[in-house]
C-alpha cells in the first residue's frame, strides 16, 4: 500500500503527470518507507477555471495548485515522517511548477488496518500472518 489520489490544476498533461508520479513514488518510498510494487496512484486534472482559492480561480491569479490524498495503514508512520513527506512533496511539486500556490494540500490518511487492504485482504490480516 498505499493508494494515492493526486489532483493537479490545468489541462491534461501526460508529461507533468508522469514527472509528478515519479516524485510522489520516490518520496512515498524514501520518507514513508512504502514498497513501490504496492503503490497505486490516480492522477486527475482540474481546469484552472474550476479551481478556486480564496474565491478566485487559478486562471485569474496565474497560479497552479495540487491536492494529494495518501492512505497509509495507521501507526506505520510517525508524525515526523508525515511532516517530512508533506514538506518535501510541496517542494518537489514546486520544482515542477514554479507558479505553485502555497494553498496546495496534502492529506495523509491514517486508515485502520482492519478497514484497509488490497487483493481481498486487510492490512490487519497481513500483519497477523507476518507474525509481527
Higher pLDDT pick, 73 / 24: 24
What's the burial of 52, exposed, middle or buried (CB within 10 Å: 0-12/13-18/19+)?
middle
pLDDT tens-digit readout, 5-64: 999 999 999 999 999 999 999 999 999 999 999 999 999 999 999 999 999 999 999 999
Distance CA 49, CA 72 (A): 32
pLDDT tens-digit readout, 103-121: 999 999 999 888 888 888 8
Just give the CATH number of 3-130: 3.30.429.10
Angle subtended by helix axes 79-96 and 14-30, to nearest 10: 160
Amino acid at each position: 500500500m498505499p493508494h494515492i489520489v493526486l489532483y493537479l490544476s490545468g489541462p491534461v498533461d501526460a508529461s507533468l503527470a508522469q514527472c509528478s508520479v515519479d516524485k510522489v513514488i520516490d518520496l512515498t518510498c524514501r520518507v514513508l518507507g512504502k514498497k513501490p510494487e504496492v503503490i497505486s496512484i490516480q492522477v486527475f486534472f482540474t481546469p484552472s477555471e474550476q479551481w478556486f482559492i480564496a474565491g478566485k480561480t487559478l486562471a485569474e491569479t496565474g497560479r497552479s495548485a495540487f491536492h494529494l490524498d495518501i492512505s497509509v495503514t495507521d501507526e506505520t508512520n510517525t508524525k515526523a515522517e508525515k511532516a517530512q513527506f508533506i514538506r518535501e512533496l510541496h517542494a518537489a511539486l514546486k520544482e515542477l511548477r514554479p507558479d505553485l500556490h502555497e494553498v496546495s494540500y496534502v492529506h495523509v490518511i491514517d486508515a485502520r488496518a482492519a478497514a484497509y487492504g488490497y487483493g481481498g485482504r486487510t492490512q490487519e490480516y497481513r500483519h497477523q500472518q507476518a507474525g509481527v
